[in-house]
Chain A
């Protein structure tokens, strides 16, 4: 294989890479000019479709195909650029915004031209304060130079890009949650269909694409489909920004062909596992994708291969490394806390399930774990999310996946953890015990203090252990 030449990050190390002049001097906006002056929108869509570019935001949906879902007879189209990058351990989009804002703008121009959108909203999470400032400055600069506004390159195509700041909600990274949030409402995902391509922002056909996806588009225009498909693995073509964090010596963001392995990332780019330890597990692409065991570190990180390990997918390609001194239970506790905090509360299985996970994990960590808790969590994990079809969006799948994977790959360790982490004062209370055994909490008179004595099994419907503590 020929040496890989980075393209998305090629300007990162250049001095003053945010400036329009620097971007132009390095061949910037040539692709946009080429697309707008020599190609028709349909030709651009076809080119992107032929390149088999897949969305970099998590689901890996083919971008060109997504664009063809827009109705042919539409009057108005909106482009939403998804910069609500909140998946834990992911920061590649921040690099793209902060270090090469004009590449982002050029990608938006070409993609809006292809989808005939004349307004684009860049939905940035509020935590990206510097990135938002840089983008706003770059957009103003591009507008002044005539790359945005009316009749760009004399093609008759108009475009305005607006930065829209989020306000700290993970769920707004879900495309319909993002649209709701953009419209000024709470970020509750919508039931699909209708898909955004048919009815999205402001009830108009809308395309929602990830930042990195759109940053790939100018390079496809400039270098062609064959170049793009020469990089990566079958069905997973092109360059990808991988981020490596957690227990490694160097926490970095690197551009590599799709399909490198976790071990390559750790050894060649992350400087090895820290403190000369060994990796016990790794997260392939944001915690909602699940866990890789130490034996699976040589699986290529692309859209197809990674699924064979039981992980949900490539996700955001944000690799988090966990060393052999860290209990998997601690990792699960953290993921459960995250999802309990970020569930939007719309669907009951997710709202209740994520909190239930978190409470159970908290009790186990405090020393009150029961062997049957693992079984319970497995059952719960199998019953929430899009996979069993009980929720509107995939957040619940993301919450359940690390648990499913951990139960499949690290079960002996989890059982051992519960056995060795017992403390008498953290045992479940009689009330909790009774609930575990199937008594509805509504049967308890909660105005009374909890009974101290052990409760009898509920043997008759309507039995209230509070009032009649049993024989």
Chain B
């Protein structure tokens, strides 16, 4: 964990993010339950959850930063350093593995030009990761983009097409209001 001291005193989370987090509070009898929604909101805006953001979430929810960090670090979803604008998960669980999913992770990394799972392209457009079952086994071997697009059944040529498709901003589905 980085040192808590930060040179700037300006808050990392702007008022609109804070407002979105506060809107979740009435849903639960305990503010702590807003931790996951808050982490999701911060992640959507910053594409990561740095320690400063955890401190500020803790302040909004009357928690200790360590509480937020404890929860955050348990889940595989939240990176502390920024990831690409799009995130692509390649499934490696049983149904996909049986149909060649294991090999496709390397193919996808090569096609995207990254060294391995969890890495981001040089232009910051795309992060490629492996995933355990994504629940889209009807498309196996499958991949999921974090805007909701599902790809599959994949093979080597389709992986290249998929990478092009994910990187093309004009192909992205309309953002939800």
Chain A interface residues (CB < 8 Å from chain B): 85-91, 93-94, 125-130, 133, 160, 162, 164-170, 181-187, 202, 204, 243, 245-247, 251-253, 283, 287, 318, 320, 322, 326, 330-331, 334-335, 337-338, 341-342, 344
Contact = CB atoms under 8 A, between A and B. Distances in A.
B135 A184 contact: no
A326 B78 CA distance: 35
Contacts of B98: 246-247, 320, 322, 326, 331
B99 interface: yes
A338 B70 contact: no
Classify the secondary structure of A's interface with B. mixed
Interface in B79-120: 89, 92-95, 97-99
B134 interface: yes
A184 B33 contact: yes
B122 interface: no
A169 B137 contact: no
A21 to B, nearest CB: 21
Nearest to B148: A129
B36 A335 contact: no
Interface string B158-177: 00000000000000000010
Category for how many chain B residues contact A = 35 or more
A174 to B, nearest CB: 14
Given A246-B95, A247-B99, A341 B148 contact: no
A166 to B, nearest CB: 7
Nearest to A326: B98
Contacts of A344: 74
Top-5 shortest CB links A-B: A184-B35, A167-B75, A186-B74, A129-B148, A167-B77
Contacts of B34: 184
B35 to A, nearest CB: 3
B32 A184 contact: yes
A89 B95 contact: yes
Nearest to B34: A184
Contacts of A90: 133, 135, 137
B137 A91 contact: yes
Nearest to B73: A186
Interface stretch (B4-12, B13-21, B139-147): B139-147
